[in-house]
Amino acid sequence: MEQIFDLVIIGGGPAGYEAALEAAKYRMKTVLIEKDKIGGTCLNRGCIPTKTLLHSCELYAQMKKCSAFGIHSDEVRCSMEEIQERKEKVLGTLRDGILSLMKKNKITVYSGCGRLLDANHVQVCAENEQDPNVVLETKNVLIASGSVPAMPPIPGIHLPNVLTSDELLDKKDVFASLTIIGGGVIGMEFAAIYSALGCKVTVIEFLDRILANMDKEISQNLKMILKKRGVDIFTGARVEEILPDESGRLICRYREKDVLKEAVSEGILAAVGRRAYAEGLFSDAFVCKSEEDMNIPDGKLFIKTERGCICVDNFGRTSIPGIYAAGDVTGGVMLAHAATAQAVNAVCHMAGGAPVFSMDCIPGCVYTDPEIGSVGMTQDEAKKAGIHVIVKKYPMSANGKTVLSSQERGFIKVVVDEESRRILGAQMMCARASDMISQFTAAIVSGLTLEQMASVIYPHPTFSEGIGECVRA
């Protein structure tokens, strides 16, 4: 008699492995399928490797300025090869930790590609042709196949040394010059990494400002800080083509205010976002389209998709009962913690439980120097929604911990509903912003008022006491 599983998960990233651990709490018999390395994009090609590189680069930058703290070093140098070696050690440690948790919770892990044959059968297609393909019968399926870097349709985009973020992360030497196409989170984090390593960085952004989805003041301040570090930033600029020059460098031609300009560099990073990855997921038994209509043949299973993303409801359910999806493959907010929350909520629904996480308030962070944290509504968003707000702002230049550690300019801003006094949003640009933004997330989810946040005592001297100063301002 074949074994019937309660849940088969396709994809071993944050959505996949956290869903498996949640399923174990409900004693669900679970299988996790991963075609590459456990941990998915976040662990292997995104969050963790970029932050590991950023940490090394920040230490390098601090050591070059250590004389300002009364510490003198005759020689400070960095080795990208050694930095990469450390990165791989970090990734290996974390992967081993996840696999250990899978084993501890009796979760079966298959290496290969997961393919849905129908609503209740998933084929594990092994990469090694000598290994037989396995067919698993299951009550539920969770698709957590993630995303891949998007490549813009620019002539010359496939030339050598035009790289995606995945490829640049593995480079063991440093370009002397780098042009970044895209001024979003990925582009800004790589601008921070490479400028800290002494690389000449140029950023070309199509929209009128970098980090266009964040508070305007954050965009303006980060642009000023990066320009002080030698980064050239051009906004409202459209890249038209990429050409090689006679010396082997790359010419990035772009149009800014109807004027054709060029940026010449050794390498180019295409950082225009990511797209959902669903290739090979569905057998011929499925039809993937935006709307069910008369063109769906009899006997075929309809999976609703939109621009390549799998459509789901608030519980992670697709258009087919028993098939769920979570994370980047569903589009929306492509963040590891959002994917985890979505997946855990989906497992709770399968098990008949209530959702654990509120998906209405998802914080975002940018790991530049200084760090950026944002959650909830910005002042402009509140205005567009017709909400009258009070805006509290505190400059971190007045914070003792900021001054004694010689941090860059920064601030904390809080958006408050004028009538109810509830916290609607917060934006911060300062040291440890990625850690502190959770306090505002908790406040928004809990419906706390400005006065309730102001009643909290913060230890001194800390970066976090800036929050208290801001809400009491």
Among all residues, which ones are annotated catalytic? 460
**Distance separating alpha carbons of residues 334 and 324, to the nearest angstrom:** 17
Residue type, 63: M
Compute the distance between CA of residue 418 and CA of residue 382 in angstroms, rounded to an integer. Answer: 11
- Strands 30-34, 108-111: parallel, antiparallel or unpaired by DSSP? parallel
By 3-state DSSP, what share of the chain in percent is helix, strand and coil, each rounded to 5? Answer: 35, 30, 40
Looking at residue 299, the DSSP 8-state letter turns out to be T
DSSP conformational letter for 91: H
Distances 300 to 58, 255, 294, 317 between C-alpha atoms, Å: 54, 48, 12, 18
- Peptide bond preceding 461 in cis form (omega within 30 of 0): yes
- Say which DSSP state 422 is in: B
The C-alpha atoms of residue 431 and residue 443 are separated, in whole angstroms, by: 20
| CA atoms within 13 Å, Cβ hemisphere of 255 | 5
